[in-house]
């Protein structure tokens, strides 16, 4: 596709359940990023991939959060045992290289009830 | 720890007027980004500034970077209603290639 694609666009889950969020970056983009946006915390970095490796995962808030990227393309962010404070918009982004424009997807809106 | 501060956080303008949004950051960085966000939408890239003295313009928006002062500005010329949105600046944390630190955003409202 032309832009960064994320799914699902909306997800309501019960507290304690696991969720998987998917990101399909712009074709050819080697760098992939996950951020989240919430009213209370603003925009926060979670993890960055260069190819399939994650040189910077310093923003993952707890060990309930993990992410992987396969084939240098699609990435999955997994949240285990979701808590209400995990409710946020999870934004995926990609760039051609590290000093290029970073393009964001439309986000996955996660609500934990 | 890198901190990014924007001001003002809220800005109400009349159409046709000029104004500037300021973005200060606390430690050295080699990259600064400006984004626009409409309500319920994602972030739209406006500018990437990579060097001291960089100036970029697109339509009624112009961004500049002074790395010595750790300051970027987003200047709005002759505002129109369509520019109403929230504008974020973001700075890449030193030593990182992916950790963008965002300001809190400036909510701009342009009134007729």
Kindly report, residue by residue over A20-55, the tens digit of the pLDDT. 999 999 999 999 999 999 988 899 999 999 999 998
Query: In whole angstroms, what is the distance from residue B104 CA to residue B10 CA?
Result: 10
In b/e form, how buried is each residue of A19-54, taking b as 16+ CB within 10 angstroms? bebebbbbeebbbbbbbbbeeeeebbbbbbbbeeeb
Tens digits of residue pLDDT in A88-100: 999 999 999 877 8
Which CATH number is correct for B4-111, 2.60.40.10, 3.40.50.300, 3.20.20.70, 2.40.30.10?
Answer: 2.60.40.10
- pLDDT above 90: percentage of residues in chain B: 80
Q: What is the pLDDT of residues A2-21, one digit of tens each?
A: 899 999 999 999 999 999 99
For residue A53, give every residue at least 6 positions away whose Cβ sits within 8 Å of its Cβ, in sequence order, or none: none
Instruction: Tell me what pLDDT residue B1 has.
Output: 86
Q: Which of A50, A105, A107 sits opposite B97 (nearest CB)?
A: A50
Distance CA A4, CA A71 (A): 16
Task: Determine the CATH number of domain A5-106.
Answer: 2.60.40.10
pLDDT tier, B97 (very low <50, low <70, confident <90, very high otherwise): confident
Residue extents of the structural domains in chain B: 4-111
**What percent of chain B lies above the pLDDT cut of 70?**
100
Per-residue pLDDT, A83: 97
pLDDT for residue A1 is more than 70:
no
Query: Between these two residues, B1 and A99, which has the higher pLDDT value?
Result: B1
Does the structure show a pLDDT above 90 at B93? no
> Which of B33, B69, B65, B106 lies closest to A104, judged by CA?
B33
| Domains of chain A by residue range | 5-106
Query: Of B48, B101, B105, which is closest to A101 when you measure between CB atoms?
Result: B48
Q: Which of B57, B55, B59, B71 is nearest to B21 (CA)?
A: B71
Residues 59-78 of B with CB under 8 A from A: none
Among candidates B74, B38, B70, B42, which has minimal Cα distance to B58? B74
Q: Nearest Cβ partner of B99 from A48, A99, A106? A: A48
B60 in Cβ contact with B83 (< 8 Å)? yes
Partner-chain contact B48 A42, CB within 8 Å = no
* Average confidence (pLDDT) over A82-87: 97
Please answer yes or no on whether B45 and A103 come within 8 Å at the CB atom: yes
Task: State the pLDDT at residue A59.
Answer: 93
Distance separating alpha carbons of residues A48 and B34, to the nearest angstrom: 19
B41 has a chain A CB within 8 A of its CB: yes
Query: How does pLDDT run across B30-61, given as a tens digit for each residue?
Result: 789 999 999 989 999 999 998 888 999 999 99
CB atoms within 10 A of CB B39: 8
Of residues B30, B4, B11, B5, the one with CA closest to residue B96: B30
């Amino acid at each position: 596709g032309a832009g960064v694609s994320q799914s699902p666009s909306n997800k309501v889950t019960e507290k304690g359940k696991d969720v998987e969020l998917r990101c399909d970056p712009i074709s050819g983009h080697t760098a992939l990023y996950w951020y989240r946006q919430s009213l209370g915390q603003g925009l926060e970095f979670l993890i960055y991939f260069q190819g399939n490796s994650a040189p910077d995962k310093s923003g993952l808030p707890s060990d309930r959060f993990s992410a992987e990227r396969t084939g240098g393309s699609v990435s999955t962010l997994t949240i285990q045992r979701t808590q209400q404070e995990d409710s946020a918009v999870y934004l995926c982004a990609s760039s051609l290289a590290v000093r290029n424009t970073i393009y964001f997807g439309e986000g996955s809106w996660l609500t934990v009830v | 720890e890198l901190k990014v501060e924007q001001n003002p956080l809220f800005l109400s303008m009349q159409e046709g007027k000029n104004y500037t949004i300021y973005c200060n950051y606390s430690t050295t960085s080699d990259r600064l980004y400006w984004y626009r966000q409409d309500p319920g939408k994602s972030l739209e890239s406006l500018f990437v500034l990579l060097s001291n003295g960089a100036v970029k313009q697109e339509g009624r928006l112009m961004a500049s970077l002074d790395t010595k002062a750790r300051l970027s500005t987003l200047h709005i010329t002759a505002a129109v209603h369509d520019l109403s949105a929230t504008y974020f600046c973001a700075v890449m944390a030193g030593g990182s290639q992916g950790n963008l630190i965002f300001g809190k955003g400036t909510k701009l409202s342009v009134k007729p």
